[in-house]
Structure 1
């Protein structure tokens, strides 16, 4: 066979497949015949096998003692199963070659490539799993931080909006300031509100309110007295609101304002013996 033909045969990749054991029985016999007949093929086979063993050794990762024991135990069980399956009598090969100078190659030495490759792959799998767990943890932490930042920004935005409303009330001359003073029931109580008939708005000063703290079963209810009749303007909690001001229900006119203590959610009519503060417009 010409040198060019030998080179082309070597470059087909069949020698690498032979070393990996990934060829048919006929191809295997053909490669062994070529290796016996042509020293170049034999030398290339040896070089491929050596390079693969070196690569496997170079990239192998030493597993822990605990992991090594588990892997070796699994291999021993698998080898025991293989021995049971291969215990049947072997059939002698009947294939013969008529070409001259062709004899059977001696048995190849044990190939350790798969052993090292398995160990390296298994260790890489474990390392990848650990890396994925770490990535997941980092992503969850980043998500929690993002949620916290978003909540903080929302809180800041709400505070800015409230401050804008406060400034609007202070600068708007249509608002009139009314001080609701405590009754005989709670003489020390004081509530200040701003009322704009033109804009039909009533705003409570929550920051400077002086009222007893209501329990979970009750709330304070603001009333506007219009022509001697009470009109519901909404409920609120003393010391429960974090906002500095609280906008109540709209009303165009009022003769006076009063606050009573009512069941949570408010009442249709005010409980007069629970009147806490009152002030005229």
Structure 2
């Protein structure tokens, strides 16, 4: 069949004779019928994606033009198929049929291209999301590796001293192991050895270094019963002793003495 006639059939822009021929061919050939259904579905999807409500005046002009074209098409005459030497020939197309077929073919190609582009866009969006997730995971793993390397440094470096902070009268069963390197000014606490009551959401534990009788803030931490890590605190080069108090979340400028839970010195 002529190129573009199936698209024109779906658009309704062919003569009754051509319409009859298309329907006969579709009835005989399942491939042609399937292609018609695919064209109808593509044009329906395209119309739904690009539907725009026209102005009232423009709608009237378009409807008037369609009615006029239908009136003109009804005056066209068609010639019957002729059989010569057992060869069936289709009726000759109207002079302007080529342009109609070409337009219909271009429209079908445009619809198919639009659908393909939308599919490609969705795949690209999924790829970007997967890449972002992988980057976040890689950053998380890199942070974990760096943290574990810091823990190994504490265990291997002979400059670190280990101190067991003992519970006070306020919390006699509490305890905490602390690692300190005066040379590197680094302080770590071992959360695996942490024995303290769970703190609520409004409070945190705060580590202090006692330097010349004055407390120096070394940071805050929470009691996490599932933690098996070490935590690096603020740096300090010299200290006479270390202690932990329970303070409002975020820490305090000075320790609350009646809330001291552990203390110890080298």
Work out whether the TM-score is over 0.5: yes
1:222 equivalent in structure 2 = 207
1 or 2, which has the higher strand percentage? 2
In structure 1, what is the Cα distance between the partners aligned to 2:192 and 2:228?
A: 7
1:90 equivalent in structure 2 = none
In the comparison of the two structures, how many residue pairs are matched?
204
1:112 equivalent in structure 2 = 97
2:90 equivalent in structure 1 = none
Which of residues 153, 163, 182 is equivalent to 1:178? 163
In structure 2, what is the Cα distance between the partners aligned to 1:207 and 1:130?
A: 57
Deviation of 1:149 after TM superposition, in Å, equals: 0.9
Matches within 5 A, 1:1-281: 54-57=2-5, 62=36, 63-64=39-40, 67=44, 78=62, 80-81=64-65, 109-239=94-224, 244-281=229-266
Contact 1:162 1:244 in 2 (8 A): no
Structure 1, residues 211-237: CA drift from partner, whole Å, max 9, x if none? 333233222110011232211111122
In structure 1, what is the Cα distance between the partners aligned to 2:227 and 2:96?
A: 76
In structure 1, what is the Cα distance between the partners aligned to 2:134 and 2:229?
A: 23
Q: Report the TM-score when normalising by structure 1.
A: 0.62
Deviation of 1:268 after TM superposition, in Å, equals: 1.2
In terms of Rg, which structure is larger? 1
In structure 2, what is the Cα distance between the partners aligned to 1:165 and 1:123?
A: 63
Deviation of 1:279 after TM superposition, in Å, equals: 1.6
Q: Report the TM-score when normalising by structure 2.
A: 0.65
Contact 2:177 2:189 in 1 (8 A): yes
Structure 1, residues 229-275: CA drift from partner, whole Å, max 9, x if none? 21111112222997822222222222211111111221111001111
What residue ranges of structure 2 are gaps of 5+ in the alignment? Answer: 9-34, 48-57, 70-92
CA distance change for structure 1 residues 67 and 195 in 2, over 3 Å: closer, same or farther? closer
In structure 1, what is the Cα distance between the partners aligned to 2:197 and 2:104?
A: 73
Structure 1, residues 21-75: CA drift from partner, whole Å, max 9, x if none? xxxxxxxxxxxxxxxxxxxxxxxxxxxxxxxx8343488863327839x7xxx9x
Deviation of 1:150 after TM superposition, in Å, equals: 1.0
What residue ranges of structure 1 are gaps of 5+ in the alignment? Answer: 1-52, 86-107
In structure 1, what is the Cα distance between the partners aligned to 2:228 and 2:143?
A: 9
Contact 1:213 1:239 in 2 (8 A): yes
